[in-house]
Amino acid sequence: MRKRIGALTLAVALAGTITAAQEVPVEEVVLDNGMTILLLPRPGDPNVAAGWVAKVGSVYERPGITGVAHLFEHMMFKGTATIGTRNIEQDLQLIAELDQVKAQLRVEEATLIEAHRLGQIEDPDDPARRTARHRELIERFDTLLAEQGELIIKEDFSRIYTGQGASGMNAGTSYDYTIYFVNVPANKLELWFWMESDRLLNPVFREFYSEREVVHEERRLRTDSTPIGKFQEQFDAMFWQSSPYSWPVVGWPSDLEGITREEALAFFDIYYAPNNLTAALVGDFDPAEAKVLAERYFGRLQRGERPPVQPRTREMPQLSEKRMHAYADTNPQVEVRYHSVPDGHVDEPPLVVLGQLLNGRTGRLYKALVEEQEVATNAFGGQSGMKFEGMFSLRGTAKAGRTPEEVEQALYAEIERLKTEPVDPRELQKVKNQNAASNFRGLRSNFGLMNQLLVREAWRGWETINTDPALYDAVTVEDIMRVVDTYFAPENRAVAIYYRRESAEPPDPRLAGLDDQERQQVGQMTTMMQQMNAEQITQFMAQIEQMAAQAPPENQDMVAVLREIARERQAAVGGGR
């Protein structure tokens, strides 16, 4: 499961802003139960990039069950009544018994939590504080888990796919959506329809309680064990005052401990109903056959009894600047965030184009802060428009002998310059030309195109792949000045300053050419690769190659480092050729 999140992180890290210069001829089919199927046949390579998206992510949660959307991403690979078990009747009986024992354990745990709240004990998880009844229940619970383990066929879902020539099976959870995908041979398309519909129609969420420990471990790898992961999580919570974007996708630890199966199943029934799902196929297939298969398999799913509940709480207007200072095992750096607009807002195209003007080796921030002023080793910025909120971030890493505060002031100077000096029309046109090139790269990959369609569908609809380009192409010099003047005010920003905490570990020389954010992403993926076996690392390498096809030039250095580390891991586990 850890590799699945890693793949999504990589996809986000490598995906540039894509704008389409040509219309993508998608056929949309809506089944009677409300599920949408997007079909884009592309004769040639005898494979199909196949995936589906559930329009639910962490912002659809509430305090108390944060992390449940991501937990479900894990649970969806646990199999069905026919996949993943040696005896379904005994399996279901054990699940029911586990639920009963867990309910009794929660009573014991609540007593300890209350004692901790009142200051009577220091640690509610201290085994020495447990009653005899508590210890007896834990022993019974562990016995049942062991019995269930004898019935479970591990990774059965993945095994069936790979045994039929499929590759790159993966999934990922974001704030706004959860996406599932795989590449299948064209002659195995019916297998995909059956497998995916079966895990929606007949899911068996076995290992529910033990899987929470896997999520805890993922949190440790992705957040607690990275140089600034814990601080970035704190910065998110500080930046978003009221919005549900304030909590991490992986969830708060206390919620992960407390989520009940009943709460999780209620969440699934609402958000994994077919009327909240969209599937997409891109590759060499017959659309007529795909429609028949969609009706035969996905048509079996029952429309949800209740419509999906949309997030209600919105971000409050920020009234004053927020600041955070932290010491970490990282290069001194600064991040400045401004509240901006969500995906689809009329001001988003100018903000995205503004980010492109600032970014890259030829962008304004690199030229000014790195080459001219020599105050930073890297600097970049950009708009992040999510479904319900948005932000614009500026970042820079201080050069040796310079401070993060100097980098911060240099970033502000570039923003103030944009308020008073109109952008050269030729500079603006250069960015638009780069957009067209980026779009061309993005449309070449079946996988990348499938991913784009599903992500766009989770936001404003897949059609935006054809309608957005004109919006970005229409951005004017006046639009840039207007949005800079509107959103880049001191009272609308939050600032995180990171100072170096000295570390005894020597740096990896391969990371020398990467910026700090890229180093962190490589570090996360390296840790995940260390947990993979030969088959998993081979699949992960294939995913790197697929996603690298969409990488803009400034991310190719990171791709090269990841390839090298993956090859080393493959050789270490005996997976190399």
Task: Please give the torsion angle defined by the CA atoms of residues 444, 447, 449 and 452, in that order, rounded to the nearest 10 degrees.
Answer: -140
Closest to 566 in 3D by CA, of 540, 548, 547, 531: 540
Which pairing describes strands 36-41 and 277-283: parallel, antiparallel, or unpaired?
A: parallel
d(CA 541, CA 546): 9
The domains of the chain are located at 25-300, 322-500
Contact status, residue 13 vs residue 382, Cβ threshold 8 Å: no
Please list the pLDDT of the chain residue by residue as tens digits (577 residues): 223 333 333 333 333 333 335 789 999 999 999 999 999 999 988 999 999 999 999 999 999 999 999 999 999 999 999 999 999 999 999 999 999 999 999 999 999 999 999 999 999 999 999 999 999 999 999 999 999 999 999 999 999 999 999 999 999 999 999 999 999 999 999 999 999 999 999 999 999 988 888 888 888 888 887 889 999 999 999 999 999 999 999 999 999 888 988 999 999 999 999 999 999 999 999 999 999 999 999 999 999 998 999 999 999 999 999 999 999 988 999 999 999 999 999 999 999 999 999 998 899 999 999 999 999 999 999 999 999 999 999 999 999 999 999 999 999 999 999 999 999 999 999 999 988 888 778 788 899 999 999 999 999 999 999 999 999 999 999 999 999 999 999 999 999 999 998 654 556 778 777 876 677 778 767 767 876 777 778 778 877 876 677 677 778 888 888 888 888 877 777 644 3
Q: What is the DSSP string of 35-76?
A: -EEEEEE--SSSEEEEEEEES--GGG--TTSTTHHHHHHHHT
Residue 332 CA neighbour count, 13 Å, CB half: 16
Closest to 519 in 3D by CA, of 228, 117, 111: 228
Is it true that 25-300 and 322-500 share their CATH fold?
Answer: yes
Give the fold, CATH level 3, of 25-300.
Cytochrome Bc1 Complex; Chain A, domain 1 (3.30.830)
Query: Three-state DSSP class for 205?
Result: coil
Specify the pTM.
0.83
Contact status, residue 332 vs residue 498, Cβ threshold 8 Å: yes
Q: Which residues, 6+ apart, have CB-to-CB distance to 543 below 8 Å?
A: 7, 10, 168, 170
Tokens of 572: 């270490």
Check: CATH 3.30.830.10 for 322-500?
A: yes
Contact status, residue 170 vs residue 52, Cβ threshold 8 Å: no
Which pairing describes strands 167-173 and 27-30: parallel, antiparallel, or unpaired?
A: unpaired
Inter-axis angle of helices 425-444 and 477-487, nearest 10: 90
